[in-house]
Amino acid sequence: MAKELFTLAERIKSLRAKSGKTQTELAKALGLTRSGVNAWEMGLSVPSTLHIVELAKYFHVTTDYLFGLEKAETFALYGLSDEQIETIKEVARLYRHNKE
């Protein structure tokens, strides 16, 4: 299977779209202008180190994921019971096992 390669710009745009946020909403959350976020998504500029960290926190991913160094995404388990969390972990294990 070919490894998917995404640029930082593509990751930011994809994560924003998946979260249902507009460029304006993301910009407001990070204290930026919409044109700044647009420039990131177009690959015309890159976020500062501080903004990379803020993006990772905002989207619940690692900075390595943003840079394309790892494929895994993370998601928040806040509000789920221990039993629900264990069920999610088991499903992930089953998918990994079936993939091998």
**Which parts of the chain register pLDDT below 50?**
1-4
pLDDT at 81: 92
CA 55 – CA 63 distance, rounded (Å): 8
CA 44 – CA 51 distance, rounded (Å): 15
Nearest alpha-carbon partner for 15 in 79, 62, 69: 62
Q: Which amino acid is at 46?
A: V
pLDDT at 2: 38
Q: What is the pTM of this model?
A: 0.70
pLDDT at 74: 66
pLDDT at 4: 47
Domains, the chain, in order of start with CATH, read 8-74 (1.10.260.40)
Q: Which amino acid is at 82?
A: D
